Every structure is written in structure tokens, then in C-alpha cells.
A and B are shown apart, each in its own frame.
Chain A
Amino acid sequence: MAADGTTLKSSLNRALRRQKLRALALIAPLLIFVLVTFIAPIADMLFRSVENQIVSETLPRTTAMLKDWDGDSGEIPSPETFEALYKDMFVAKERKLHTRLGSRLNYELTGVSSLFRKSGRKIEDMGEVYQDQFEDLDKFWKDSENWNALMGSADWLAAQNAWDPRSEAIQPAFEPNEQIAGILPETSATFQTFADFVQNEDEKNLAKQDPWALVYSALYNDLSAGADVSGYNGPGSAALKAAMAAVGDFETVDYPASFQEIDKDWHDIDVWQTIQTYSPDFTSGYFLNAVDMKKSPDGAEMRPENEQLYIKLFIRTLFMSLVITGSCILLGYPVGWILANLPARTANLLMILVLLPFWTSLLVRTSAWKVMLQQQGVINDTLVWLGVVADDSRLALINNQTGTIIAMTHILLPFMILPLYSVMKTIPPSYLRAAKSLGATNWTAFWRVYFPQSVPGIGAGSILVFILSIGYYITPELVGGTTGTFISNRIAYHISSSLNWGLAAALGAILLAVVLGLYWAYDRIVGIDNVKLGG
């Protein structure tokens, strides 16, 4: 018990809490910075590797219909599904989202992208069948003002009419007429979508915009389904009642046939299966893709041999990183040893030489290697001049694995030398002397006494070099050609060229998992306590 009766532990905790809070306050700026600029984007990126809302968001009605469709039956989906696709596609086309979805689904099935683009161009014509018939029936249906009067509530209509489009004021948001919404539910809902789009996304005056063809289709659907228009006496009631009487004779649209007319692929089961497979909000598709597999109706399966790419690339990345790490150990160990055993003045001077590369841009160093390693480059010229290789069989040192390994070993070497040096510096020379005085030869003394104590430096250097090289991008990109590139180059390609961010995220996540796994294995085998960056 402390003097004031509280337990010693709690008063100690109180004393420590202030210290902890102060420490937290000191690191808070960095913590926030890292969270906002580093952790959050990474989390977002990782989320993208499983996120797949684009299908269900762009084609909500179609994906809902497809839930009950059995692709194995060999039958194309029902006409209602095609109608749902028409509606989804129409809205998507207006909002210019259909090409994005096309690109997304094209990752899974080639050809979908062009199918969607083509369908988007022609979808308008499909709805105009009803629009034309309504407009032929009555001029009333041609005028957007009439539509607004019919579909909108009285309050909104008054506000909209009072609104001056040239003023700064915001356009009054459309409100549906409750009675019409009851009578013509689909038309009202579709018009609402249209109005929202015009007012919010297009930012045009709703009074001046003719409704989408889709709205006419919806009106036809409502009326032909037997809407009870008799009780309605508001604006346009006469035209509505006339239309009600006429729709029975209207020419109808055969959606499956119309889609087939646009592109016969719409009657291809594979297209529909792909849409169905990717309807859920989350997908393992990107990850499967990243390990050369794909989703099929019977679960995951390997892609055909000629489409396999990523596993090979992962293995190549790991293998080359290991080779680079090994070369760095071989080249760096003797240098570290020399540095650690020289008098401080000389060692500092040489240390500057080791650090010199850090003062030169990475790009410059890599480009220099391009000059060095070319077929007509410095190294080949020298070898030819020395007569080591014949002029007509110059070595291919660049745009292949050799080029990447040479250039990256050079670039990452300081990361090996520095930890080796600082660990070796802490090994007193008296250990070697003791070993020799005990009868060990130079080699035994080194191998049994010095080397084991330098292992933490090798460990630290290897982890640094390996992890840096496994994610390296610039150097393999510049000197790796096609056979010497890493997985990161592929990730970069999907980020910036193919725009398949989901796949890039999945590849990145796998890379992260591999690194963490190796780190864990390293900890189990060598022990992370055995890693020292110095003292």
C-alpha cells in the first residue's frame, strides 16, 4: 500500500499513464499521417481485391432476375430477364456506366466489352418502338412539360415553374404525384430515375428534357397491365385515358429477339453465366485470376495452359529475389568485414563510397546499367576486346533475367553492407584471437566463431534486400525485358494500363501475404531476435 491508501500498482499506473499519453501525443502526427496516407489507401486497395459491386449496381434488375436462372439448363434466360437487361442497360448507357461494366466483365470473358459497347449504342432504338406509338397517338406525349405536369406533384410543379434557370438558385428536386404513383407505379419510378438523372447528374432543366424512351416502355407496361386510370382527373387525364384505350393494339417489343438482333452473343449462355457468376457484391474472382484460376459454374478451375501467367511470375519473382539476396551476401560480406576491421578513418572514407549510390537517382543508376550491359555496351566491348567472347556472339546481358539480377544486386548492395558492417563492428577482435590461441586455424576461427556471430547481420541484410527486391519495379521494368520482369511490373500494368485494379489489388495482397509468410518462417527458423541492424 502506498502512503495515501491506494495500492502501489494503481499509483504506479497513474504515474505511467501520463508518460504514455505524452509519448502518444508525440507520435500522434506521424501516426495520423501514416494512417491517412498509407494504411487507409492500402486497406482500400485490399478491399478492391474482393469488391465487385459494379455488376449488381449497374444491372440491379437483371442480376435480381438471374438469381433464379439455372445456367446448366442450356436455356437462355426468360424474356423478363431480357426486359430487365433492357432497362438496366438503358439507364447505364445514359449514365455512361455500361462500358465500365463491359471492361470489368471482359476480364472474365473476352468479348463482353465490345458486346456492351455495341449494345449501348443501339439500346435507344429498342425503346423507341413504344415512344413512337405514343407520340403518334397524341402530340401530348411529345412535350416534356406535359410529362412533368402528369408525373410531378402540384407543389413541385409550382416550384419548378417559378424557378429561374439563369439564377443561382438550385433546381427544385422532382417530387412524384402520389396518385399517379399509385396508378402507374413503374412509370412513376422510371420517371423519378430519369428526373434524378437530369437534375443531379446531367444538371439540366427538367422542363426542357424529353423523357427517356424507357419511360414510354414503362408507361406501356403499366397500361397494358391494366392500370386503373378512370379515377384520375389531373393534368393530362384525357391523353392518359385515350392511351389506355389504345395500348391494346400497340406493336410490342420482343426483347430476346431485339437483343439477338444487336448481337447474337446475347443468346450465348456463357455471357449470361458470367453475369450471373459475378452478380454477388463480393467475389473471389480476382484472387482466382491472380493464381491462374477462374470461376466456372462448377467452382474454381485452372485456366488453360496458354493463359497461365501469374504463378510463373510469382515463382520467378521469388527465385530472382533469392538470387539477388545471395549475390548481395557474397559480394557484401567481404566488404563489411574489411570495413569493420579497418581503422576508423579509412573505414569512414570507404563507407562514403558504399553510400555514394544513395546520392544518385535510382533511375540514373539503372540507365547507366543499360549503357553498360547492352550488346554494343561497355562490358561486351571490353570482353570482345579482351578476346573472351567473339564479336558475333556478344553476351545478352540486358532485357533478360541476367540484366535484372546484375542491376538489382548493385542497387541493393548497400542495404546488405550496412547491417553487416554495423553487426561486424560489434564483434570484438578478441574473439578471433581467443579462438586462435585455443588452437583454431584462421578458417576454423572464422567459421566457428566469427561467422555465427555475424549471422544476425546477414539476416537483417537478407530480409532488407529480399523484401525490397520482391517488390521492386523500376529496375526490372527498365532492364528486365520480358523474361526479367517481376510481379510488381504486372501489378503496375494493371494499375495504369489495363485498369484492372481488382486484379492488381489481389496480386498485391498475395505478394503481401507471401512476404509476411516468409517473415514468419524466418522468425521460426532463425528467430527475429537474431536480426540486428547494429550494436
Chain B
Amino acid sequence: MANTTNVDAFVEFERVQKSYDGENLVVKDLNLSMPKGEFLTMLGPSGSGKTTCLMMLAGFETATHGDIRLDGVSINNIPPHKRGIGMVFQNYALFPHMTVAENLSFPLEVRKMSRSDREAKIKRALDMVQMGDFAGRRPTQLSGGQQQRIALSRALVFEPELVLMDEPLGALDKQLRETLQFEITKLAHDLGITVVYVTHDQTEALTMSDRVAVFDDGRIQQLAPPDKLYEEPENSFVAQFIGENNTLEGIVKEIKNGVALVELDGGEIIDAKPVNVSSAGERTRVSIRPERVEYNKDRLSDDAHTLNAEVLEFVYMGDIFRTRLRVAGTDDFIIKTRNAPDVERLTPGQHIEIGWLPQDCRALDA
């Protein structure tokens, strides 16, 4: 994965490490390269080092090892206020003793901009987030969503090329979050800015980003566009973390014609696509998305391996049915079926046979 200097890269992390206490590495060997104009999301569980990466990029933490470059220039020794990077914080960090207009004026004042320029830019930035009428208010007189809009326009008002956002929507309710997700993406594309966005919400990551970097344990586990991430997870952490996923464990028996034959711990044989396994005898975890599991025999090829399953629970969810099965010794094997006229509705206690196309079932690391 190691990236050599990339001419097109706007933001680059090269072999970056970070430790706070001198003992544990919070960020281990981070390599990342972003072209200009990209919307990249860092997604990962809490404590995986996302904020630390963002802080190193913004200049509030220094990397203990490695190089961070912005537009080809190493920024390790440039203080934060000279980096010209816009930032949106989770708690908004709007200055409570200033009005909205004063908050927006602040970055322009420190840049010694003339009064008329400032006013024009503030107006434009507020209109951009539909907050033109709120210039005279104090941050405490605004709702959470409005505050976040102001924080966003403050980060954009001085026209930075790179904007960092650390869980900016984390404190908002679902509906507002979805509206703002859409608005942020649209703004980013309209303005052509480069965005590094941090979240632990996978839906947010998948819907907003050009590429998603999945973080765990101080490393990028996979860096890919959302569809690839979902459909082709490269390891079992990513498969587990993104979307709903069924996992079965076993040993590879043989790999032939791009299909791996896996013997599950209960002795059953299944087909899978070898991703992280290369030879017979390796332990593996196979991952199957619930919507790719088939129980209608007509849809499966004749030579497909199938598993016996017992229906434990059937949930009607409107557009889909969600069924929980007992398969190969696990009680939480989920399948999802589209609600269509020709689909059989299962009943608990019923015994069925399930199967899948080999390419939908990925044999990953154990």
C-alpha cells in the first residue's frame, strides 16, 4: 500500500506514526494520498485514531514519525495558523462571545481584509448555508443544526482549499443529519474544495464520500470508494464493520478456478471467492451479505453447495423481510429478501436450504 510521492496528490501522509505516551502507537504507519477536490472520509470505531490524524493534518499534534505534505510541501514545521486549512469541530466551537457575523469576520480580520470585502464575503458565506438572516444572533440563540451551518460557513468563509471536519454531525438528530449530509456534499462539490471528513457512522461515510478510509487500530484497513468497500471488503474487519454481514468460519480445502472450497467447522462444504486466502489448509472467515443469500432453489446453479437452515424468526419490515436462521451452528445468520409477489414468506420452525453465488461469498482472513 505504501505510496511514493504522487505528483497529483494534494494531501499526503507518508509512513506517519503518532504516540502520545511514548509507549503505544495511536497511529501506526499511515499512508494516504488524496487528489485535489476529493471528499475522503475516515471511518472507524471510537479510539481508532481518526481525530489524531486530523489533528496532525491541522497542526495541533505533531507526528512522531513520517511526513505530511500539503500540495507537495512538507507541513511538519508550519504552525496551524499558517496552514490555511478550514476546520469544523464536533462541538461547533463557535465563539460564544461573538455574534454569527463576528464569528465569520474573525478569520477575515486576522487576514487584514478590508471592511467591505469582509462584509461581502460574510454575506456570501451565510447565504451559502441559508443562514443570511442570522448574522446578528449569538451562537447560543441558535439550534444545533443552525450552529453547525454557521460553523461550516465559518470554515469556508476564508476560502481554504482543504477543509477538515471531525464528526460535525455527531450531535444532531437523524433527520437533520441527513439534510446536512446532503448539503455538505453539495457545497464541497460546488466549491471544488478538498474535504477530509471524520465519522464513525458508516451510512454517513458511504453516502457522502468519494473514497472512504476504514480505520482500525491505528491503521487504514481499506481505502476504497463506498460501493467497493461494501461489496468487496478486503478483510474481515471491514466486512464486519460496513453494513450487515454474516460470518462463517472454516478451513480452505482447495482453490480451483477462482473458487475456494471451504469446509466449515461443522463439516459442511461451501463455495467462496478467495480474497485473503491463497492456499489449502488456511483458516478463513467467509463473509456473505444478507441480501445475497438465496433460498429459492431455482435461482441457484445445480452444482452449488447448499446449507441446511432452520428459520428462527421472521420480521416483516415493509420493503424487505428480515429472517434469522440457524445455520452451521450459529443462531444469528440473517437473510434479507425484497418484498415481491413471488417471494415466499418463511415461518419459524420451517427447514430450508440456502445458497449463494460463489463470487458473493468472500473468504477473508481468520
Structural contact, B111 and A437, CB atoms closer than 8 A: no
Of A187-195, A318-326, A447-455, the one contacting chain B is: A447-455
> From B93, which residue of chain A is reached at the shortest CB distance?
A434
How many angstroms from the CA of A434 to the CA of B111 in the assembled complex?
15
Contact A428–B97 (Cβ < 8 Å): no
- Complex-state Cα separation, A441 to B111, whole angstroms: 11
Cβ of A436 under 8 Å from chain B = yes
Point out residues on A near B: beta carbons under 8 Å: 428, 430-431, 433-442, 444-445, 448-449, 452-453
Contact B106 A440 (CB under 8 A): yes
- A437 neighbours in B (Cβ, 8 Å): 58, 80-81, 83, 85-87, 155, 164
A-B contact count (CB 8 A): 64
Q: Are A431 and B93 in contact (CB under 8 A)?
A: yes
> Residue B95 at the A interface, CB < 8 A?
yes
With most chain B CB atoms within 10 A of its CB, the pick from A437, A448, A453 is: A437
Taking the complex as formed, is B192 at the interface, i.e. its CB lies under 8 A from any CB of chain A?
no
* Cα-based distance from A428 to B158 in the complex (angstroms): 23
Instruction: Decide: A434 and B97 in contact? CB cutoff 8 A.
Output: no
A193 to B280, CA, bound (A): 128
B interface bracket (residues with beta carbon within 8 Å of A): 20 to 34
In chain B, positions 15-66 with a C-beta closer than 8 Å to chain A are: 58-60
A439 and B110 contact, Cβ closer than 8 Å, known pairs A428-B91, A433-B80, A434-B89: yes
Docked-complex contact B107 and A438, CB < 8 angstroms:
yes
**CB closest chain-B residue, reference A430:** B93
* B170 close to chain A: CB less than 8 A: no
Find chain B residues with CB under 8 A from A433 CB.
58, 60, 80, 87, 89, 93
Are A438 and B89 in contact, CB atoms less than 8 angstroms apart?
A: no
User: In this assembly, does B154 line the interface, its C-beta being within 8 Å of a C-beta of chain A?
Assistant: yes
Whether A438 lies near B106 (C-beta < 8 A) is yes
A432 to B58, CA, bound (A): 13
Q: Tell me, yes or no, whether B84 is within 8 Å of chain A by CB.
A: yes
17 contacts between A and B (CB under 8 A): A428-B93, A430-B91, A431-B93, A433-B89, A434-B93, A436-B59, A436-B80, A438-B86, A438-B87, A438-B107, A438-B155, A438-B158, A440-B81, A440-B107, A444-B110, A445-B81, A452-B97
Q: Given the complex, which residues of B lie within 8 Å of A453, measured CB to CB?
A: 95-97
CB neighbours of A444 from chain B (8 A): 110
A-chain residues with CB within 8 Å of residue B89 when the two chains form the complex: 430, 433-434
The docked-state distance in angstroms from the alpha carbon of A239 to that of B155 is 115
List chain A residues, Cβ under 8 A from B158.
438-439
B86 to nearest A CB, angstroms?
7
* Distance between A197 CB and nearest chain B CB, rounded to angstroms: 73
Q: Which residues of B contact A440 (CB under 8 A)?
A: 81, 106-107, 110
Q: Kindly state the separation between the CA atoms of A439 and B157 in the bound complex, as whole angstroms.
A: 12
When the two chains form their complex, are residues A439 and B111 in contact, meaning their CB atoms are under 8 A apart?
yes
7 smallest beta-carbon distances between A and B, as pairs: A438-B107, A434-B93, A437-B87, A430-B93, A436-B80, A452-B97, A439-B110
When A436-B81, A440-B81 are in contact, do A431 and B95 touch as well, CB less than 8 Å? yes
